[in-house]
């Protein structure tokens, strides 16, 4: 049987953990300070967006972390909602990860807005039930609250109450995820958001990233705490790895659909954008990020090791998360680069619009990522007993 191994220098390890958290928090604060500066001087002065390309890189981490939180919620529900015993050991950490990923995503979209305070103010005083954005804001805010109560119930050993909040959170976030493409295609449907397979694609991609995050951060949590996996954790991660492999095969199919759309216009509703992605200026992003890092490398690592090595599973999870982040960047940006009315041969209309992330946008994105990492480390420091119960 594999048992926990703890270091003999608990005091120094604890101090190192605190120093790591402080370092991550400082980097996060420095990056997010660029967001505060943007709110003060105006996004037109600090962002690389324009009238033609109104959504920049900050929308990418919002979609990434929102989908990641959805996937984590789905996988955690396998243990606490559907009662699959194999997944129970990873439930507390997974719920906490779902909580902080959604908080990070909402923070990204808040700093992307030029007047974010209007969202909360008018969402309460003048709700617009026919607005997709209002529904998405409301759904994700409620989901964040339900996940907070879920984690608190787990920490207090109130498993029945935790299950109730988990069910509500699962239904809520699934509704938001299945309708995400309806929000994005409001931008003129110039991207890939209006493809018929998008709802299923988003749900599969979310669950895939959830599995990848569990494989990576469960391993990091044990390394951070100076422990190795016990037999129950090892079994849970092995099962997560199997689910991860199945989802990789599913995403491989959707990636093949993109490739077909990129080379054969009749297979897609957005041939210009798909061609730009697959064989145009974003081809490097697509083939290295979306194909290699997100799918082929993780799938190859799992097949070679048969999904039994937790270290390799963690590497596969990291590769997948990195590739999916590139995927969401492409998904947000590429479609916007196709000019409106391009089919009418308008005089002086460029073939493609251009967008380059500004320093402020890059630093805010970096700050958000380090905010998530700092929150993860803080959770490992504060909730060791909850994770190991």
pLDDT of 367 over the 90 cut: yes
| pLDDT value, residue 309 | 86
What is the value of pTM for the model shown? 0.91
Question: What is the percent of the chain with per-residue pLDDT over 70, rounded to a whole number?
Answer: 92
Q: What distance lies between CA 172 and its chain's CA centroid?
A: 17
pLDDT tens, position by position, 341-355: 777 777 778 888 999
pLDDT of 3 over the 50 cut: no
| pLDDT value, residue 389 | 64
pLDDT of 2 over the 50 cut: no
| pLDDT value, residue 181 | 62
Confidence of residue 10 (pLDDT cuts 50, 70, 90): very low
| pLDDT value, residue 302 | 93
| pLDDT value, residue 48 | 92
Considering 129-138, 289-298, 376-385, the range whose residues carry the highest mean pLDDT is 289-298
Cβ within 8 Å of residue 360, ≥6 positions away: 34, 35, 37, 38, 46, 47
The mean per-residue pLDDT over the stretch 190-219 comes to 86
pLDDT tens, position by position, 248-275: 999 999 999 999 988 988 888 788 889 9
The mean per-residue pLDDT over the stretch 230-251 comes to 91
The mean per-residue pLDDT over the stretch 111-117 comes to 84
The mean per-residue pLDDT over the stretch 103-125 comes to 85
In angstroms, the CA 337 to CA 355 distance is 8
What are the structural domains of the chain?
Answer: 49-355 (1.20.1630.10)
Long-range contacts of 336-343, Cβ-Cβ distance < 8 Å, separation of 24 or more:
336/52, 336/53, 336/54, 336/55, 336/187, 336/190, 336/191, 337/53, 337/273, 337/276, 338/190, 338/270, 338/272, 338/273, 338/276, 339/52, 340/188, 340/190, 342/272
| pLDDT value, residue 348 | 78
| pLDDT value, residue 231 | 83
The mean per-residue pLDDT over the stretch 84-103 comes to 93
Largest CA-CA distance found in the chain, in angstroms, rounded: 73
| pLDDT value, residue 12 | 45
Confidence of residue 4 (pLDDT cuts 50, 70, 90): very low
The mean per-residue pLDDT over the stretch 295-310 comes to 90
pLDDT of 387 over the 70 cut: yes
Confidence of residue 7 (pLDDT cuts 50, 70, 90): very low
In angstroms, the CA 389 to CA 318 distance is 26
| pLDDT value, residue 184 | 63
In angstroms, the CA 113 to CA 119 distance is 9
| pLDDT value, residue 186 | 61
Average pLDDT, the chain: 87
pLDDT of 108 over the 70 cut: yes
């Amino acid at each position: 049987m594999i048992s926990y191994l703890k270091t003999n220098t608990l005091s120094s390890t604890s101090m190192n953990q605190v120093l790591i958290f402080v370092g991550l928090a400082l980097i996060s604060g420095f990056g997010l300070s660029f967001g505060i500066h943007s709110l003060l001087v105006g996004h037109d002065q600090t962002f690389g967006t324009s009238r033609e390309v109104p959504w920049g890189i900050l929308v990418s981490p919002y979609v990434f972390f929102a989908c990641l939180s959805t996937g984590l919620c789905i996988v955690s529900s396998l243990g606490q909602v559907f009662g699959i015993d194999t997944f129970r050991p990873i439930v507390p950490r997974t719920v906490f990860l779902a909580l902080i990923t959604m908080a990070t995503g909402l923070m990204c979209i808040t700093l992307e807005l030029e007047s974010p305070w209007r969202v909360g103010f008018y969402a309460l005083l003048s709700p617009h039930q026919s607005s997709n954005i209002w529904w998405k804001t409301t759904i994700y805010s409620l989901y964040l609250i339900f996940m907070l109560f879920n984690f608190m119930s787990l920490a207090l050993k109130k498993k029945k109450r935790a299950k109730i909040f988990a069910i509500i959170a699962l239904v809520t976030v699934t509704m938001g995820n299945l309708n995400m493409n309806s929000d994005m295609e409001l931008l003129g449907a110039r991207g890939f958001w209006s493809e018929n397979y998008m709802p299923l694609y988003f749900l599969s991609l979310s669950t895939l990233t959830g599995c990848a995050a569990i494989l990576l951060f469960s391993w990091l949590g044990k390394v951070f705490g100076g422990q190795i996996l016990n037999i129950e954790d090892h079994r849970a991660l092995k099962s997560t790895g199997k689910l991860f492999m199945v989802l990789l095969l599913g995403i491989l199919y959707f990636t093949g659909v993109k490739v077909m759309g990129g080379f054969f216009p009749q297979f897609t509703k957005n041939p210009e954008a798909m061609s730009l992605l697959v064989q145009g200026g974003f081809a490097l992003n697509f083939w290295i990020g979306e194909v290699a890092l997100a799918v082929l490398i993780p799938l190859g690592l799992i097949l070679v090791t048969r999904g039994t090595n937790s270290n390799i599973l963690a590497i596969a999870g990291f590769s997948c998360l990195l590739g999916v982040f590139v995927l969401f960047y492409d998904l947000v940006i590429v479609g916007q680069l196709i000019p409106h009315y391009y089919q009418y041969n308008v005089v002086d209309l460029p073939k493609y619009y251009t967008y380059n992330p500004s320093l402020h946008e890059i630093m805010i994105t970096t700050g958000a990522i380090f905010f998530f990492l700092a929150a993860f480390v803080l959770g490992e420091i504060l909730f060791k007993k909850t994770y190991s119960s």
